[in-house]
Amino acid sequence: MAGFIPFAVLAVGLFSMGQGNEFFASLFDIFKVWAALILSFLGGIRWGFAIANEPYENKNLLISVVPSILAWFVLLLPDAYTILALLVLFCLHGAWDSFYINEGKVAPWFGKIRITLTFLVVAAHVVVLFAIA
């Protein structure tokens, strides 16, 4: 849950300070990079789940690298599109995790944390969208 703290602080900071603030662009870049890092981390968690099962889930091994690749690619998009694309990627990853959780492949506590964090992170992205609008 502590991984959400930078999302919250940066989103509230960006929304509060406005685009005219001299630190806005730097904080915005930090927000985008943090989001890309967390998506990469989530992909790594899924990779770990895939190799923990015997036989290995080859499909999940391959798909688990997609969040990292897409997250870093969207950093090249214009700002509003980057935030929107990251928001969509977090929603998709949350849905993917939900299906995995519902199949009983991970502990229930992990499911509760993932759903809560997905909601919070998506909300932070919405706040940032308003900050750049």
**CA 129 to chain centroid:** 15
pTM here?
0.91
Indicate the pLDDT class of residue 106, thresholds 50, 70 and 90.
confident
pLDDT at 61: 86
CA distance 83 to 74: 8
Of 34, 52, 28, 31, the residue nearest 100 (C-alpha): 52
